[in-house]
A and B are shown apart, each in its own frame.
Chain A
């Protein structure tokens, strides 16, 4: 055998070896961070009088559903009686409960508990994060309407009190927006607006630096945000309005949704805005006008979101596990799942 052939063989062998070695090297293949990484967290409010609040998980492809993931992963710990909302910060999920007054912090992918916030909470509602701080609305619908601020180590910093309301809270483009008006009732239990304000907290000073007064006379129902805008939905049973607020400047632009009554819930997904009305009609909103999409099936409107082009709608009951219907954007029912009691929210994990 010629030496050149041997060399070629050796070369080829080295090449092969190298290739195989490279194959053995840790290619940054995604290592799973936990069982709940690629899916949706579902908040089940609970029965109020019983500690039945729970969290469910469904995988993105809707193939895997697991209920009670907080209890299961934390030696059967009780979450609470009224589970209000979820917020995310880094690898952590913050589970806000209204009864009892606490926020459970868990790893969002494993759901192992990593901490608890209880200081100065009084019927906590929603949560947002900006910079190092955590902002939590509290509203007992009586004499407490405030935002509590906690630092990066979850220590209490201060409270900001509001006159009438403190409900939804979002963070966008370096500012925190608080829904500071909502619904109240007259003596005959007819709905009335408490007012029409959205307040902005500047995280640099942790003070309110702007109050935006909406220009219609209906009731503020919901507020969400994308990276740079805040969207506010207000309605009564004849008209609905959407406001787009530029988070940086705080300027609001109103769209009157002609002929749309009782819009209640907002969702944002892949840059598109959706809303659901008390008449169980789903609409999309393109920045200037709303387009009716389809009717959803539920006894009344409660938990709602649109995640990766899938529409999640809960059929609320507080005495038994709820059905959640999942539709695609053309209105085909993809799947009906059974979650927990009082399903009130869906969060992309």
Chain B
């Protein structure tokens, strides 16, 4: 039986389950239950579907224009990786419905293969989170969430967009829910010829086409007052041709297939809340050094995860949260030396939450991971919140976080090093939140030190091999100003962020590559009745691309602006137009890979 068969069969089975009528209030179920507690002490910005659709091309664009993260993209829609608070790509964790989905092989999330249009919202959490979210949650975490709603009846939405470089972005989402059952199915298809040109840079994006399709299924069933069963599954497949710099270069391509499935049983009674989750993740990639020949390398990774999240309320002031997790990771590589790997990993975490009075909130967390054959540290977190007045509150976090070596770090041939230790980070931050009338201001300075950083360096015989070598010190400021106001048929919304990052290798005393010192991003929209106009702007400061701070190789500062118009017609139809890169800025996020100049798209969004 193939994956798809299994999937369809299970779907049918659940469709036959009872439809007993029992009146409950309508609620929204999110899989990532811990996000709500984290929100109290960490900076989380939430992007709703409407925000995501403003940068419908890919997740890289969303994060570039609407978050403090630096996104390094090898040409539009291609290989893309994050740098959060001056850290490396492996130090940001991507969390799919509460489950860490960074690649077992690379230790990082492949942003443009994480799919964008299938989620209900996206949350960006700044700062460490290893106690709850595990390895790689050092600079921050990016949460890709699906939701299940109850008591909402039938709802469908269809989105279709066509734009420059023969780009098509589409999705169809259907949901049905009553008091007990919620089903949500969505599919999306994306493709682009992506043959943009930047004549000023002598650049044509040759062989840059991509396409992907995703299928998501969510199912929720409220068994009774105490028990809820939920299930979320994603099937993704994508093809990226990698751009070449010359018509005489050999064309390559990269295929990705991911399957993720998560079942959750939530039990809630009196003072006890328990959530048991079982998840299966499968990642597969194939690289073709010659586009029309058999694959030259590849790998398949599977993770079987069981996780139990138990929360006990002693009273309305103190709660204890115990999280136990077991994972079995399996990997099989092709032409990489990774053969028939199997690894057991487990962890125990405990969090104590205390609300002494209305002004204070405290949280203490501790965790120990047990990863087969890898030394992993005991980690912890301390958080506190102080609500001084109606208009000011402060949060404090201190935490120790880690990343354990990926399968490639350990087993890649040649070079893999079985003696690697986990990377460890200590960090502290002080968040200041101001609120006045429609304004909200957040100022969060932070300090972070990372030790045992894994880096691939040539060994004595010239073969690159990873070792725990570097120490990195990062500090900076994240700030964000939000304003929202409605009056009559008018609705205005502004959000602007300023980010300062200082991130240095303490051994070489050089700045880390691909970490801009300054980033400013802003989003604003103004709506009147059926019409809405929006503007996005992003300024990125000087960014070094070589480890010797070479100025002539650095990416010069740039400012990119996007604009769009939306019209709602007959309630359910929304017609949208967008101009990306209005000012025709010539810019790169990875050296030598310019991103497109001014380009256009039109879309139709139907909700019925």
Contact = CB atoms under 8 A, between A and B. Distances in A.
A319 B547 contact: yes
A52 B592 contact: yes
B416 to A, nearest CB: 9
Interface string A27-50: 000000000000000000000011
A49 B202 CA distance: 17
A76 B200 CA distance: 11
Interface in B173-211: 202
Given A78-B202, A189-B337, A320-B547, A99 B250 contact: yes
Contacts of B462: 278, 300-302
10 contacts: A100-B244, A100-B246, A100-B247, A100-B248, A100-B249, A101-B250, A278-B461, A278-B462, A320-B546, A320-B550
List the 7 closest A-B pairs by CB distance, nearest first.
Answer: A100-B249, A189-B414, A100-B246, A100-B248, A320-B548, A51-B245, A320-B546
Contacts of B202: 76-78
Interface in B535-575: 546-548, 550
B517 interface: no
Contacts of B548: 320-321
A102 interface: yes
A255 B337 CA distance: 37
A303 interface: no
Contact of B246 (A76, A102, A300): A102
A81 interface: yes
Interface in A1-60: 49-52
A6 B248 CA distance: 78
Nearest to B296: A142
B272 interface: no
Given A100-B245, A101-B250, A118-B248, A299 B592 contact: no
A100 B550 CA distance: 25
Contacts of A321: 546, 548, 550
A123 B296 CA distance: 15
A233 to B, nearest CB: 16
Contact of A102 (B248, B460, B591): B248
A49 B513 CA distance: 16
Interface in A172-213: 185, 187-189, 191
B463 interface: yes
B458 interface: yes
Contacts of A320: 546-548, 550
A78 B547 contact: no
Interface string B236-255: 00000000111111100000
Nearest to A302: B462
A166 interface: no
Given A76-B202, A302-B462, A50 B249 contact: no
A80 B415 CA distance: 27
Given A50-B591, A51-B592, A102-B246, A189 B413 contact: yes
Contact of A80 (B246, B413, B546, B550): B246
B249 A299 contact: no
Given A80-B249, A278-B461, A320-B546, 10 more contacts: A49-B74, A50-B591, A51-B592, A81-B245, A118-B248, A121-B248, A188-B413, A278-B462, A300-B462, A317-B547
Nearest to B250: A101
A142 B296 CA distance: 10
Nearest to A338: B548
Interface in A74-112: 76-78, 80-81, 99-102
Contacts of A118: 248
A302 B458 CA distance: 11
A121 B249 CA distance: 10
B221 to A, nearest CB: 48
A72 to B, nearest CB: 13
A316 interface: yes
Interface string A284-317: 0000000000000001111000000000000011
B591 A300 contact: no
A300 B249 contact: no
Contacts of B461: 191, 278, 300
Contact of B458 (A52, A80, A299): A299
Interface string A313-349: 0001101110000000000000000000000000000
Nearest to B249: A100
A320 B551 CA distance: 11
A78 B591 CA distance: 14
Nearest to B592: A50
A309 B10 CA distance: 77
A81 B250 CA distance: 12
A105 to B, nearest CB: 14
Contacts of B246: 51, 78, 80, 100, 102
Contacts of A122: 250
A78 B244 CA distance: 12
Interface string B351-369: 0000000000000000000
A302 B462 CA distance: 9
A321 B415 CA distance: 23
A149 B491 CA distance: 72
A118 B202 CA distance: 20
Nearest to A319: B547
A188 B413 CA distance: 7
B458 A300 contact: yes
Contacts of B415: 189
B78 to A, nearest CB: 11
Nearest to A102: B248
Nearest to A103: B248
Nearest to A143: B293
B249 A101 contact: yes
A187 B413 CA distance: 8
A319 B512 CA distance: 12
Contacts of B550: 320-321
Nearest to B203: A78
A122 B248 CA distance: 10
Interface string A253-266: 00000000000000
A343 B248 CA distance: 23
B514 to A, nearest CB: 11
A135 B592 CA distance: 32
A80 B245 contact: yes
B547 A81 contact: no
A45 to B, nearest CB: 13
A81 B249 contact: yes
B338 to A, nearest CB: 12
Nearest to A80: B246
B235 to A, nearest CB: 30
B591 A101 contact: no
B463 A189 contact: yes
Contact of A278 (B296, B460, B513, B591): B460
Contacts of A81: 245, 249
